[in-house]
Amino acid sequence: MSNGFQVQDRFAEGAQYIGGKLLPGTSGHHHEVVNPATGRCVLRYELAGADDVDAAVAAARAAFPGWSAATPGERSEAMHRFAAVLAEQADDFAYAESLQCGKPIKLSTEFDVPGTVDNAAFFAGAARHLEGKAAAEYDGDHTSYVRREAIGVVGSIAPWNYPLQMAAWKVLPAVAAGNTIVLKPAELTPLTSLMFAQAATEAGIPDGVINIVTGAGKEAGEHLVGHPDVVMTSFTGSTAVGKRVAEIATATVKRLHLELGGKAPFVVFDDADLEAAVHGAVAGSLINTGQDCTAATRAYVQRPLYDAFVRDVAALMDTVRLGDPFDPATDLGPLISHAQRDRVAAFVERARGYARVVTGGEAPGGDLADGAYYRPTLVADAAQDSEIVQSEIFGPVLVVLPFDTDEEGIALANDTPYGLAASAWTRDLYRANRATREIQAGCVWVNDHIPILSEMPHGGYKASGFGKDMSAYSFEEYTQVKHVMYDNTAVARKDWHRTIFGDR
């Protein structure tokens, strides 16, 4: 499939977007964007270096006074235009997202792009609802109120699994609140982040409000996090890298927003609708080829349903169609790279020594041999403390374990360092209420797994980080609170001063 979108032509001037212009990087190091379905290069570009990060931060800092001083209505109008431009260019965004990530075109078309447009529309509305607290007299004749204000230049780092949506989740709430931003996308997948910033310019958002630097994490990323003119860092990625980001940010006392790893439990009680749970487990574990921090990775099934669940999930996984991402019939695309495919395969190979690989566990051959494909894989009977249960795999692998009592199922669900998302499957209201109350995760679905909404927060507990994406909660995170207090009396008050200094 080709929609006429020519990557080389689109980014001939470079893969950095600074002050409203595409520019080449200055690091002296080049990188290739590779289509993981074919292993072929689609764009070769020069990476950003420290000088590019400095230029992007300077552009964002210069744009901040004007953008933060715009009225909420003015920012809202610009962002509504932004949403309209994104919608007009939906086909190009879907094509570029599938090209660089290998995700099925139906996922890009039906989920990633519409979700991004919806996010833009939501935060366009949110821009008009930046509120403080009502004024009141808490101390005699003094009136106090609270202002919410933009904080300045935000430096954000996004991952490669959902490049377009992660750009939206980072940029939109920050910009709606009046901040300016420098976003570093993953060097594997910069295309749609760059297009996103270009679309903002087309919509009339001022130059410098949204800047993109595409560079390596060690050079461009760490320099962005440590930059003295960046007042907040937002990072989505692994917990290990998140710790490094926090360490660097602490040196300049930056505000931090971290959305880190996940190992989502999928808890099936014995009264659950088995067919619904089986379909939910396959969809929830294989979404985006399992490269999703909220994907269902650990299924805990109450023992009366365990054997049937394992049998039916394996059978359904065997019907999943791997293929060309641009074929509308394809259900599952490749992993992001051969290196990631090999990493996933190594987890499964090690698990063969202590668990049962029920289906999958191999890369396909034939027409798919050149791509980074891996078959949907079901692993059963692993121990709770085993690597494949405790570690984030980030691939199309689901592990199934049995449990006996409700207490045991919930305890097993909580028994990892992570706490990003989870689901509970039951027809019993009491069980559902108990599970949603006791499972330690930022989101708990009941009889479903994976849906997200612009109006609802996304973010984790424990080692999955802190802070929220999407929703009004996200919007407020990109603001700072100021207490304003003034004296209402017509003459200068001296009573307070006398209390402290005496009569002088």
Task: Exactly one of 259, 362, 392, 477 is catalytic; name it.
Answer: 259
Asked if residue 245 is part of any domain, the answer here is yes
Output the pTM of the full model: 0.94
pLDDT in tens, the chain (504 residues): 456 678 888 998 999 999 999 999 999 999 999 999 999 999 999 999 999 999 999 999 999 999 999 999 999 999 999 999 999 999 999 999 999 999 999 999 999 999 999 999 999 999 998 777 777 888 778 888 899 999 999 999 999 999 999 999 999 999 999 999 999 999 999 999 999 999 999 999 999 999 999 999 889 999 999 999 999 999 999 999 999 999 999 999 999 999 999 999 999 999 999 999 999 999 999 999 999 999 999 999 999 999 999 999 999 999 999 999 999 999 999 999 999 999 999 999 999 999 999 999 999 999 999 999 999 999 999 999 999 999 999 999 999 999 999 999 999 999 999 999 999 999 999 999 999 999 999 999 999 999 999 999 999 999 999 999 999 999 999 999 999 988 887 555 556 566 666 665
Give the pairing of strands 30-35 and 232-236: unpaired
Torsion of CA 283, 289, 294, 299, to 10 degrees: 60
CA pair distance 351, 488, nearest whole angstrom: 72
Asked if residue 490 is part of any domain, the answer here is no
Residue 193, both tokens = 């982040």
Task: Assess whether 236 and 274 both reside in one domain.
Answer: no
Task: Assess whether 183 and 268 both reside in one domain.
Answer: no
Quick one: pLDDT at residue 492? 55
Residue 359, both tokens = 């289906």
Residue 331, both tokens = 């259900």
Contact 332, 396 (CB under 8 A): yes
Where does 221-325 have alpha helices with state H?
222-226, 239-250, 274-286, 303-317
Q: What is the CATH number of the domain that holds 369?
A: 3.40.309.10
Task: Assess whether 179 and 82 both reside in one domain.
Answer: yes
Task: Assess whether 354 and 431 both reside in one domain.
Answer: yes
Asked if residue 163 is part of any domain, the answer here is yes
Q: What is the CATH number of the domain that holds 139?
A: 3.40.605.10
Which 3 state secondary structure label does DSSP give 254?
Answer: coil
Task: Assess whether 477 and 338 both reside in one domain.
Answer: no
| Angle in degrees, 0-180, between the axes of helices 72-88 and 191-202, rounded to the nearest 10 | 120
Asked if residue 454 is part of any domain, the answer here is no
Task: Assess whether 142 and 218 both reside in one domain.
Answer: yes
Contact 201, 21 (CB under 8 A): no
Task: Assess whether 316 and 430 both reside in one domain.
Answer: yes
Quick one: pLDDT at residue 1? 46
Amino acid at 307: D
Task: Assess whether 255 and 269 both reside in one domain.
Answer: no
Which residue range(s) make up the domain with 308?
262-444
Task: Assess whether 86 and 187 both reside in one domain.
Answer: yes
Quick one: pLDDT at residue 283? 98
| Angle in degrees, 0-180, between the axes of helices 429-438 and 406-414, rounded to the nearest 10 | 30
Task: Assess whether 190 and 309 both reside in one domain.
Answer: no
Annotated active-site residue 275? The verdict is: no
Asked if residue 500 is part of any domain, the answer here is no
Quick one: pLDDT at residue 371? 97
Contact 165, 103 (CB under 8 A): no
Give the pairing of strands 255-259 and 465-466: antiparallel
Q: How many domains does the chain have?
A: 2
Asked if residue 290 is part of any domain, the answer here is yes
Contact 106, 328 (CB under 8 A): yes
